[in-house]
Every structure is written in structure tokens, then in C-alpha cells.
């Protein structure tokens, strides 16, 4: 699971670099940006499917009430870097830039 999360983080970083290149008007092909985005989206969907079909059902079957309380007390260790309350500054800036370009800001 953690190896898959690391892979997703790498793919997200690669796609983020492509988007950053577009936003800063560096030379990058459309195909490179599209491929990086599609790869990241496909990997994310696959990961979510795996979690929902295998990991979460297994957790529901095997974790005790005490385990679930411990999970609930853990809170948000890292939070959501794009939409969470402690949004990372570089993601926040990227979000604003994309929103402005899409006309939704």
C-alpha cells in the first residue's frame, strides 16, 4: 500500500511539473501534459478501486471496535494538500492559477 502511495505521489509530482511548465510558458508538448495527466488519473482510479474492493472490506472485517476508535483518534496526519485546511502553499497557488485560467476564480 505505501509503495503504491509513493508511486502516486511520484506521478502527481510529474503531472504537477507538466502543469507548472504550461503555466510558466516553458516549452512542453501537449502530448506530454496529456500523457502525464492520463497516467496519474488512471493510477489514482486503479488505486481507489483496489482500496474499495480489497483494503476497506478487509479492514471492516478484521478491525475491532478499539481499533476503529484508535483510527478515529488519529485525525488527519497529513491532510489533503489540495482541499484540506492546511493546504500546502505551492498547491494553493497552483489551484488559484488553474481556477483563474478556467474562469472559475
Mean pLDDT, range 68-96, rounded to an integer? 65
**Confidence at residue 28, expressed as pLDDT on a 0 to 100 scale:** 93
Local confidence band at 92 (pLDDT 50, 70, 90 cut-offs)? low
> pTM of the full predicted structure?
0.63
Model confidence over 30-68: pLDDT tens digits?
Answer: 999 999 999 999 999 999 999 899 988 988 888 889 888
d(CA 94, CA 57): 35
26 grid coordinates: 516553458
d(CA 58, CA 1): 13
Amino acid at each position: 500500500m505505501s509503495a503504491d502511495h509513493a508511486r502516486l505521489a511520484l506521478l502527481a509530482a510529474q503531472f504537477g511539473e507538466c502543469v507548472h511548465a504550461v503555466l510558466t510558458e516553458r516549452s512542453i508538448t501537449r502530448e506530454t501534459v496529456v500523457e502525464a495527466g492520463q497516467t496519474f488519473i488512471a493510477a489514482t482510479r486503479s488505486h481507489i478501486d483496489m482500496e474499495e474492493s480489497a483494503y476497506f472490506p478487509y479492514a471492516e472485517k478484521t478491525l475491532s471496535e478499539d481499533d476503529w476508535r484508535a483510527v478515529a483518534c488519529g485525525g488527519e496526519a497529513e491532510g489533503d494538500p489540495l482541499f484540506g485546511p492546511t493546504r500546502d502553499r505551492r498547491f494553493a497557488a497552483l489551484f488559484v492559477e488553474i481556477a483563474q485560467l478556467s474562469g472559475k476564480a
